[in-house]
Amino acid sequence: MKIDAIDCRLLEKLQQNADIPVADLATELGLSQTSCWRRIQRLKEAGVITRNVALLDRNHANVSVTVFVAVRTSTHSQEWFDQFHATVQSITEVVELYRMSGDVDYLLRVVVPDIAAYDKVYKRLIAGTQLLDVSSSFAMEEIKFTTALPLTYVR
């Protein structure tokens, strides 16, 4: 799908506030409401916009502690991965999971209210599958956090 400059501006606005009324968005972009709405629908149908969500304040949700968990395994079979994936999927405190290159096999981002809550998450993680090493790092300060993707590289 070809994304033009207007689509990029539209996506930037929607990444900042997906609740903005189409009429306001159209005015900001110099489009008619119908044209703006059609662009949004086209971006959704093409899979560029995957979903609209509400972002919650972590303090209000009582999960202000962020833990980055580095996991190493000595097993790389599909069966092991399926079990690991199922274990991680069942732990709601795990909000991100990445397969990594380098010394660490997987990196998880976990949000919890405190260290005691993380200890419970850790115990569920190690009970669910065989791991070689688990290393946890607690974030001391959140300096930058965004869900908005850069659109500089859109073709």
pLDDT digits (tens, 9 = 90+) for 106-134: 999 999 999 999 999 999 999 999 999 99
Please give the angle made by the CA atoms of 20, 26 and 27, to the nearest 5 degrees.
100
Mean pLDDT of the chain: 97
* pLDDT interval class at 60 (50, 70, 90): very high
Mean pLDDT, rounded, for 6-11? 97
pLDDT reported for residue 155: 82
Cβ contacts of 14 within 8 Å, gap of 6 or more? 20, 25, 40, 49
Check whether 84 has a pLDDT greater than 90: yes
* pLDDT interval class at 57 (50, 70, 90): very high
Mean pLDDT, rounded, for 3-17? 97
Mean pLDDT, rounded, for 26-46? 98
Report the distance separating Cα 147 and Cα 149, nearest Å: 6
Q: Which of 64-68, 73-77, 135-139 has the lowest mean pLDDT?
A: 73-77
Check whether 33 has a pLDDT greater than 90: yes
Cβ distance 13 to 20 under 8 Å?
A: yes
Whole-prediction pTM:
0.90
CA distances from 108 to 18, 32, 66 (A): 27, 43, 10
Domains contained in the chain, CATH given: 5-45 (1.10.10.10), 65-138 (3.30.70.920)
* pLDDT interval class at 7 (50, 70, 90): very high
